[in-house]
Amino acid sequence: MSISIGITTGQAPMSGLPMAPPAPPPPPPQAGGLIPPSNLFTSTQMTFATADHIDFRSNWEISGGRLTCLGLSGNDARMQLDASLTAGNPYFITLDPQYQDTNIKINLSGDGAVNGRNVSQDWQGFQYFPPALVSGNFNRVAVKPSSGATSSVDDISLYDLSSVDPNRVPCDVIIVGGDSNSANATSEFVTKENRETPYDPRLWYMPCLRVSPTYGTVGAERHQPFPMIEPVLAAPGAARMSPVHAAASRLVEWSAARDRPLLVMALGDPGSGLMNTQDWRHPDRAVIETTQQANTASRMWNEMIAMKAAVEALGPAHQVVGAIWSLGQNDGFNTPDGPDGYDTAHTAEYQAFFSDVRSEFGDIPMVLTNIAQHIVDNTDGAGNPGFGSYRQQWLNRFDQDSGHPNAIANFRVIQPASGNQVDPLDPGDPHYNAAGMQQNGRDMGDALLALLNA
């Protein structure tokens, strides 16, 4: 049995798509550095190979290696800890749930009690208890069902996150921003089966949640660090897959070698860009020409600056070390106007944006993901001037090794793998399914890691 949740070697294919290949392992741990907090349950306790620590309260049993509710009452199963928790520390619980009839709550109890949220979907196998909620020296974890529920759980882990909490210790910080292909708005819904990246307590993210400041389904709040597990919440509160956890998993050991956790500024925003919509332009460069642009000009740039301030307000000396962008999908509404292969206004705005980012955060390495290959494969460019191979080639010119005058130092452009479109029946849909999002994330992370190691 696994000690982490959401690990899979692939995803059931959508119609017309091949099975996703197994996810490659993350880079091996480097010698020394920050090690992950350990599970406070022993290996036999977490897999329920022993029941010595459990009070079944006449409503639970171990069946098939799982802690299973008999559905006789609303009594919780109480798992005694070997030592009391430390009041005022943050804790995170992961488990593998199967919800049969209704919901359960994951609670802390003993010296007082604090209730987790109601959970009823298989991807909700986690519960974060921030320091303010850990108000007693709790010595039990309780799984409480709704009356009559017959749910079961397995592989339970409990972590004390005080040694990796961004509110307490300095972190490396990366930005993952841009359009919907950097966020959680347009992919498939997250399930415990399609999560390919195991939980690592050294990874955190800061939710953007621009549209609504809270997402009660997971207990996340705008601009407050949250343990990283998909769905990683950016602009919308949605339980869809993003590339963020997969990208961060490729960088966590690099930061750990520097004795630092990794915190991601999750800044993806659906429909955002630099041209047709001016969301990411620096305010000094925004040109208000229409009502639509007036509503969006500099909106995401301002959000990024607000999140930077929120990171700094946490207290420790966090350091932004890199950025990953997905841009271009929403900027293709002008026809190319010369031998450069794209309109000159686009080129100037892109160069200005990356320069402005470095003016704000320092000379950080950056990665840009190109437009979806399935868009290029299914359009001819000339008939669809917003898409096509000419736009892909134009974006590639920003790569540091392109040899083109548009090349930017310490900057990589990567091409997402072919296929993996979220809707294979719609060749014009630029988005990715869960397997594609995570593959993109690993490619993003690997590209940034290579720049950091250069």
Name the residue type at position 234. A
Q: What is the pLDDT of residue 332?
A: 65
Other CB atoms within a 10 A radius of the CB of residue 71 amount to 18
Confidence band of 212 (pLDDT split at 50, 70, 90): confident
Write out the two tokens for 40. 């406070």
> What is residue 295's predicted lDDT score, i.e. its pLDDT?
65
Residue pair 6/422 in contact (Cβ under 8 Å)? The answer is no
Asked if the model's pLDDT at residue 103 lies above 70, the reply is: yes
- Is pLDDT of 389 > 90? no
Do 251 and 448 form a contact (C-beta atoms < 8 A)? yes
What pLDDT shows up at residue 338?
52
Over residues 260-282, the pLDDT tens digits come to: 999 999 999 999 999 878 899 99
Question: Has residue 41 got a pLDDT over 70?
Answer: yes
Q: Residue 334: what pLDDT?
A: 52
For 49-65, write each residue's pLDDT tens digit: 999 999 999 999 999 99
CATH of domain 43-160: 2.60.120.260
pLDDT of residue 379: 54
pLDDT for the residue 373: 81
Which of 111-120, 280-289, 292-301 reaches the highest mean pLDDT? Answer: 111-120
In single-letter form, the type of residue at position 176 comes to V
Phi, psi torsion values for 96, nearest 5 degrees: -105, 105
pLDDT given at position 14: 31
- The pLDDT > 90 percentage for the chain reads 66
pLDDT of residue 399: 97
CATH superfamily, region 172-453: SGNH hydrolase (3.40.50.1110)
Q: Could you tell me the end-to-end alpha-carbon distance of the chain, in angstroms, rounded to an integer?
A: 38
DSSP 285: G
pLDDT at residue 234, as a whole number: 86
Yes or no: say if 201 and 37 are a contact pair by the CB < 8 Å rule.
Answer: yes
Q: How far apart are CA 235 and CA 184, in angstroms?
A: 8
Task: Tell me: pLDDT of 12 over 70.
Answer: no
Dist. CA 404–CA 40, nearest whole Å: 54
Comparison of pLDDT for 148 and 140, the residue scoring more: 140
Separation of alpha carbons 399 and 316, rounded Å: 34
Band (pLDDT 50/70/90 cuts) for residue 320 is very high
Give all strands of the β-sheet with 203-206 in edge-to-edge order. 226-227, 203-206, 262-268, 172-178, 319-326, 366-369, 411-414
Q: Is 153 in contact with 98 (CB distance < 8 Å)? A: yes
Instruction: Work out the average pLDDT over 409-434.
Output: 90
Q: Which residue has the tokens 């301002």?
A: 302
Across 61-90, average pLDDT = 94
Q: What is each CA distance from 391 to 4, 179, 377, 397, in whole angstroms?
A: 41, 16, 13, 10
- Give the per-residue pLDDT at 391: 79
DSSP 424: T
Q: Is the pLDDT of residue 382 over 90?
A: no
* Per-residue confidence (pLDDT) for residue 195, from 0 to 100: 96
Give the E-state strand segments of 88-211 in sequence order.
91-98, 104-110, 112-114, 118-119, 126-129, 140-145, 152-160, 172-178, 203-206
The pLDDT assigned to 7 comes to: 28
Cα–Cα distance for residue pair 18/13, rounded to 1 Å:
6
Report the pLDDT value the prediction gives residue 289, as an integer from 0 to 100. Answer: 63
Residue 11, pLDDT score: 31
Mean pLDDT across 240-250:
97
Mean pLDDT, rounded, for 400-409 = 95
> What are the residue boundaries of the structural domains of the chain, listed by start?
43-160, 172-453
Residue 9 has pLDDT above 90, yes or no: no
From the list 304, 176, 305, the residue with the least C-alpha distance to 246 is 176
Backbone angles phi, psi at 62, to 5 degrees: -95, 120
Question: What average pLDDT does the chain have?
Answer: 86
- Looking at 49-53, 125-129, 132-136, 276-280, which range is the least confident one? 276-280
pTM of the model: 0.89
Tell me, yes or no, if the two domains 43-160 and 172-453 fold the same way. Answer: no
Q: Let me know: does 334 contact 273? Beta carbons within 8 Å.
A: no
DSSP 1-54: --SSSS--S--PPPTT-PPPPPPPPPPPPPSSSPPPPPPSS-HHHHTTS--TTE
Whether pLDDT at 29 is above 80: no
What lies within 8 Å, CB to CB, of 154 at 6+ separation is 1, 47, 48, 65, 66, 67, 95, 96
For residue 28, is the peptide bond before it cis, meaning its omega torsion is within 30 degrees of 0? no
Region 107-122: what's the mean pLDDT? 89
| pLDDT at residue 8 tops 70 | no
